[in-house]
Every structure is written in C-alpha cells, then in structure tokens.
Structure 1
Amino acid sequence: MQDRYLDPHQARSRQPTAYEDLLGDAIERAYAAGIHDLPGLVAQLNRSGPSCPGGVAWTEENYQAEIARLAADC
C-alpha cells in the first residue's frame, strides 16, 4: 500500500520536458560524484551537458537564472 501522505510529485503541475529530465540527471550525477558547490556543478555541466539554453556555456549566473526560471514554471 502506498503511503497516502507521500507524493513526491505533489507540487508538479506537468510532466518534465526532455531537457528538464536531462538537466536533472546531470545534476544528480554531479552530486553523486561529490560535487556540491556551484562552481564545480557549472564546470561539470559544461563538461557533460546538457547545454545551457541558447547553446552558450554554463556560468554561475545563467545556471541560477535557469533554475529560477524552471522553478517558477513548475
């Protein structure tokens, strides 16, 4: 029986896009590799992808802006 109080997607209003899935997977892989700081995360995303929207390199600033945009779009 599923715990009626646990719904891991309770705040989600739609299914994630392919890009969002790829980005989430890349962030999870970085954390699993022991990367827990923003500069390290940005460097890892630039090495392994996915690319930043617009095809530019990830920076701390555009990463933070993209995560804020995605959070507002949920």
Structure 2
Amino acid sequence: MHPPRYLNTHQARNRVPTAWEDLLGDSIERAFAAGIADLPALVAHLNRTGPNYPGGGEWTEESYRAEIARLAAEC
C-alpha cells in the first residue's frame, strides 16, 4: 500500500508571489475567516480593506474573476 499523496502548495508555483499577491491572498483569507462566502461580499471586502485593484479603480465581480484567472494562468 502506498502512502497518501498530497501536493505541497509551494510545489505547484513557478515563482515567488509578489508583495501585492501576498496582500491579496491575506485579504481573501481574512474575508473567509470572517464568514464571507460569496463573491459580492468578497468584492466589497476587498474594496473596503484592500489591496486596491491593479491599475486603480475599485474591484468588481468581473475584475476579480479576471485577475484571479490571470494569476492562476501564471502559476
């Protein structure tokens, strides 16, 4: 019998996250810890607490989806 397999988070990345990416991840984790579980509330949380949307402006549901997709494609 083989031992259970798992993926260490850092095995899957191609580069070290930027400072902004770390801030985004921390903010998303705080939102989840606070019980935020839907996209509209998460976007509102990001607009309240940061980090700001890249290039300025506020986060929207569409911009959040696009940015997360962009970040996932870079991994």
Q: Same fold (TM over 0.5)?
A: yes
1:70 alignment partner, SS class: helix
- Return the alpha-carbon distance in structure 2 between the equivalents of residues 57 and 5 of structure 1: 37
Whether 1:63 and 2:68 are equivalent positions in the alignment is no
Number of the residue aligned with 1:28: 29
| Structure 1 stretches of at least 4 aligned residues deviating more than 3 Å after TM superposition | none
Q: Name the amino acid aligned to 2:37.
A: H
Give the secondary-structure state (helix, strand or coil) at the position aligned to 1:55. coil
Q: Over the residues paired in the alignment, what is the CA RMSD in angstroms?
A: 1.6
Worse overlay, 62-71 or 8-17: 8-17
Q: Which runs of 5 or more structure 2 residues have no equivalent in the other structure?
A: none
Ranges in structure 1 where 5+ consecutive residues have no aligned partner: none
- TM-score scaled by structure 2? 0.89
Question: Equivalent pairs: percent with the same residue?
Answer: 75
TM-score w.r.t. length of structure 1: 0.90
